[in-house]
Every structure is written in structure tokens, then in C-alpha cells.
């Protein structure tokens, strides 16, 4: 049985009702996201928000994944500071690919887990190589496709179709994740409908289902292992501690 | 919301995403509705199911949530009954 996870929903939108709605829609997990600026301005309040959402999620039977999203332009310096200070406090850190500089940095820094693509983003060959090497995920969102203006949603659809083709050509479909990007509960959709939308972009339906379930679950498990110290450095996994021979 | 209004909204959603060609593949029709329960049975062509779901996902407002997909109206009725613990009252010929 598949376990679906919507990795990007605004933490403010995650009330008891919306968590119940997510469960009814068929999700077993959700990424509670706080924007980087908000997190940096008041880390204690954001961590408290995460704690309360996790507690409510546990009561409702939804696994809550804590996440910081860099959703506005940020210089390398502040981003490095953010990563150094808070990498160990949240499970997932993602960067929206706004401009070349930020995208290139996010791809080559191992502390960033997810590269979120918006219709204006550009991924180059080198970026893809880093994404593959570090086991990062490439995230596409449903919200640009739900735009009021048909032309902008058509542009988003065309752009994401191109990304899907590129990832298929590079054999990186397992790195693709598809999230709602919902800022309020009205933007939440059921996972099979999301997968149907993704399959319109040229992806096989099974791969599209993986993009809202298996691929996300794998990323979250890896991030949690890193946080728990099971993977102290890249390529090393502690499978057990041996008995003392003396 | 009545059945005609829901159907026109579903048609508009499919039209917006995939145009007339897509609509020809889906041909959505509301065959049963219980407005008081917020429940409807929508008939679509089998080959247009994914397109229909994609249209629902790409629509700005949440129009409808797919609870279950069934191959026959009889099965759809059984699902409705199980959801609300009562006979949904669908006619066999609908």
C-alpha cells in the first residue's frame, strides 16, 4: 500500500481541520513549511509552531515533517548562516530556484535537501549532476498550475513538462517530487488527482504516483537518518554498534 | 449546489485544462446527487478518468473530491451506502 506525503504545505495552514482533511484525502504525511525569513526572525516561535503541528498531526494520524523553505531571494552569506544555525533543527530544508546564483549554490550545498522549481527556474547540467550526486530531490508544485490566468498556468504546464522530459532523459525520475504548495486548505488536492495532473506532463502514471509517495518517503527517511546521526557523513551509515571485545 | 450547476462547473474545469478535445475524452455527467450529504456520482469515460482528475486538481477552487472510482453504477451505489450507512437511492437505469 502506498503512503502519500504532501511535502509542502504552509505550517500556518495546518490546523486540526486541515490535517483531518489531508488524512481524508489520503495523505499519511505532510511537510509543514515555514519560510526562511519568518524562521530567522523568530526561531523559537517557529519551532513552537512545529511542535504544536506535530502534536496535532500525531493525534490525527498524519506524520508531520518539519521544513524550512527559502522562498525569496537570499544572498549566499545569509543562506549559509541559516544552514549552519538551523540545519540540525528541522528535517527538510528546501530552496526555491529563483535565480542562477541561488540555484547553483543550493544544488552544490549538501545541506539543502530539495530544489523547488518555479516556472521561471533554470536547471543546468552541473546542477543536475550535483542533485544526483547528493541525492537531493527536485520539487514541482501544483499551485502554479492552479493560477487564475489560463496563460500563466499553461506556461507552468509547459515548463514542468520540459523538466519532466529532462529528468527522464537523465534517468532522474526517482528524484522528482510533486507537492501542492498550498498556503490554505482550499489548494489541497487528493494524491491520485495530483498524480494524474503530473502524468499529463508526460510521466508514466506509476512514476507520477511515486512522485507523491515513494520518492518523498525516501527523502524524508534519509533526512531523518541524517538528523538522528545514523548517517554521520555522506556514504556512511551506522547499522549497529558492535560489542566491546575486551 | 444542484446537479446541473455542478455538471456545468465540472465541464468548465475540463474545458479549461484540455479544451474541447479533452472534454470529448471525458464527457463528465452528474448521474446522482445528494446535496444535503455533499455527495455526487459523476460518470466519465474510462479513458478520460485521469484527465478528469487532473482537471479537478488544476482547478483553482476545490470543486469535488474523488472518494472512490467504480466501474458500474451498482458499485457506486454500494459505495454511497457504505459511506453514509443508508441506501443512496440510485435508480438502476441511471
Give strand pairing partners of B34: B39
Residues in chain A closer than 8 A to B57 (CB atoms):
142, 145-146, 189-190, 193-194, 196-197
Distance from C-alpha of A236 to C-alpha of B72, rounded to nearest angstrom = 53
Distance from C-alpha of A195 to C-alpha of A215, rounded to nearest angstrom = 13
Look up the ipTM and state it.
0.87
Q: Which residue has the higher pLDDT, B84 or A110?
A: A110
Distance from C-alpha of A35 to C-alpha of A98, rounded to nearest angstrom = 14
Query: A105-135 pLDDT, tens per residue?
Result: 999 999 999 999 999 888 899 999 999 999 9
CA distance B35 to chain A (A): 19
> Which CATH fold would you assign to the domain A4-228?
TIM Barrel (3.20.20)
**DSSP state letters, A112-132:** --EEEE-TT----HHHHHHHH
pTM, entire model: 0.90
Q: Distance of CA A163 to CAs A4, A106, A152, A208, A212, Å?
A: 22, 18, 17, 13, 16
Q: What pLDDT is attached to residue A69?
A: 95
Query: A77-110 pLDDT, tens per residue?
Result: 999 999 999 999 999 999 999 889 999 999 999 9
Per-domain residue ranges for chain B?
A: 3-66
Q: What pLDDT is attached to residue B35?
A: 82
Q: Is the pLDDT of residue B88 over 80?
A: no
The x, y and z cell numbers of residue B35, run together, are 446535496
Q: What pLDDT is attached to residue B78?
A: 82
CA distance B12 to chain A (A): 12
Which residues 54-73 in chain B show a CB within 8 A of chain A? 54, 56-62, 65-66
Distance from C-alpha of A107 to C-alpha of A125, rounded to nearest angstrom = 11
Per-domain residue ranges for chain A?
A: 4-228
pLDDT band at B89 (very low <50, low <70, confident <90, very high): very low
The stretches in chain A having pLDDT less than 50 are none
Q: Is the pLDDT of residue B92 over 70?
A: no
Q: What pLDDT is attached to residue B94?
A: 30
Amino acid at each position: 500500500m502506498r503512503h502519500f506525503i504532501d511535502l509542502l504545505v504552509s505550517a500556518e495552514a495546518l490546523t486540526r481541520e486541515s490535517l483531518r482533511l489531508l488524512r481524508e484525502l489520503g495523505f499519511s504525511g505532510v511537510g509543514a513549511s515555514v519560510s526562511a525569513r519568518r524562521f530567522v526572525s523568530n526561531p523559537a516561535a517557529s519551532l513552537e509552531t512545529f511542535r504544536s503541528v506535530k502534536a496535532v498531526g500525531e493525534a490525527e494520524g498524519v506524520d508531520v515533517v518539519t521544513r524550512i523553505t527559502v522562498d525569496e531571494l537570499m544572498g549566499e552569506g545569509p543562506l549559509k548562516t541559516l544552514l549552519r544555525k538551523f540545519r540540525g533543527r528541522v528535517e527538510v530544508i528546501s530552496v526555491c530556484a529563483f535565480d542562477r546564483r541561488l540555484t547553483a549554490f543550493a544544488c552544490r550545498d549538501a545541506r539543502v535537501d530539495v530544489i523547488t522549481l518555479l516556472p521561471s527556474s533554470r536547471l543546468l547540467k552541473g546542477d543536475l549532476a550535483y542533485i544526483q550526486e547528493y541525492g537531493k530531490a527536485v520539487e514541482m508544485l501544483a499551485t502554479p498550475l492552479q493560477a487564475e490566468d489560463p496563460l500563466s498556468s499553461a506556461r507552468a504546464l509547459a515548463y514542468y513538462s520540459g523538466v519532466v522530459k529532462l529528468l527522464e532523459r537523465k534517468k532522474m525520475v526517482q528524484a522528482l517530487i510533486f507537492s501542492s504548495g498550498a498556503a490554505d486548505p482550499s489548494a489541497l488536492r487528493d494524491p491520485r488527482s495530483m498524480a494524474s495532473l503530473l502524468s499529463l506532463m508526460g510521466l508514466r502514471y506509476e512514476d507520477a504516483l511515486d512522485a507523491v509517495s515513494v520518492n518523498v518517503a525516501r527523502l524524508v527517511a534519509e533526512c531523518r537518518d541524517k538528523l538522528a546521526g545514523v548517517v554521520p557523513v555522506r556514504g556512511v551509515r551506522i547499522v549497529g554498534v558492535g560489542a566491546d571485545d575486551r | 449546489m444542484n446537479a446541473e450547476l455542478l455538471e456545468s462547473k465540472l465541464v468548465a474545469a475540463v474545458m479549461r485544462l484540455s479544451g474541447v478535445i479533452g472534454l470529448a475524452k471525458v464527457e463528465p455527467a452528474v448521474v446522482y446527487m445528494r446535496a444535503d450529504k455533499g455527495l455526487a456520482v459523476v460518470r466519465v469515460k474510462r479513458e478520460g478518468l485521469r484527465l478528469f482528475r487532473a482537471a479537478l486538481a488544476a482547478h483553482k477552487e476545490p470543486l469535488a473530491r474523488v472518494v472512490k472510482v467504480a466501474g458500474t453504477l451498482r458499485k457506486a451505489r454500494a459505495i454511497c451506502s457504505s459511506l453514509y450507512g443508508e441506501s443512496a437511492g440510485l435508480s438502476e437505469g441511471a
